[in-house]
Structure 1
């Protein structure tokens, strides 16, 4: 009986490993813009997706963030851009070493972006926006995922539901 359970357990681990590799194999940006994500999570957006959310609005959003980050007299710590057939996949990559190289530092970056998001006119118009995050803003704009990376070895991917 124990031998059968070990065989079943080994088979289940192999299948889970295979399924995990299939999902990353379908991520054609992994290995090019960022390393294969070590961690993933699912985030349930707390607002509706805007009906006006389009590929162009997502491009305008990342362009505005890029313009804001490059207007400082200091070099930017990260770049943000979008990829995918409809530019629905947001990517944030550090441009310096030793930045955003742990899950905690990646989450700190999201917290900072949340603070900036709350100053935007779009968040100010929403009721109960004090509880919304940068991830909610991406979700509202029709992004389906975001991948955050140190640009070297660390990447974390969040899938929007």
Structure 2
């Protein structure tokens, strides 16, 4: 397991799909925080992207899902994990992510948090909670050190 970093984030398949398909909602707001800071990293395994791509195909169409996959490949840091592992949890564990964004209430439950505590340090929240708590100034100071320079990337580029 990699040591967890608060600048490393995993978005579950449901959040990745909602970011693309639901416009200016909580998934987009949360992931825009990651996209507009070069010192933040989106971590995802191939199985996690496979799941998100399947959701996008089901809810829209295959060409959109293919285009999304090509783009996200360049935006994420790839991690590997054993087959059969939960793609989002395993991505967070193997990729040292301190944040996992998911709409799945089972992942964010106190019971799941207690079960994971001895294995990994990760905060599992819905995207709106992450977006509401995200404080780039203090996070930058903790991760990079120094004064926060502001966003350094266009989240739509």
Q: Same fold (TM over 0.5)?
A: no
| TM-score, normalised relative to structure 1 | 0.27
Give the structure with higher Rg (CA).
1
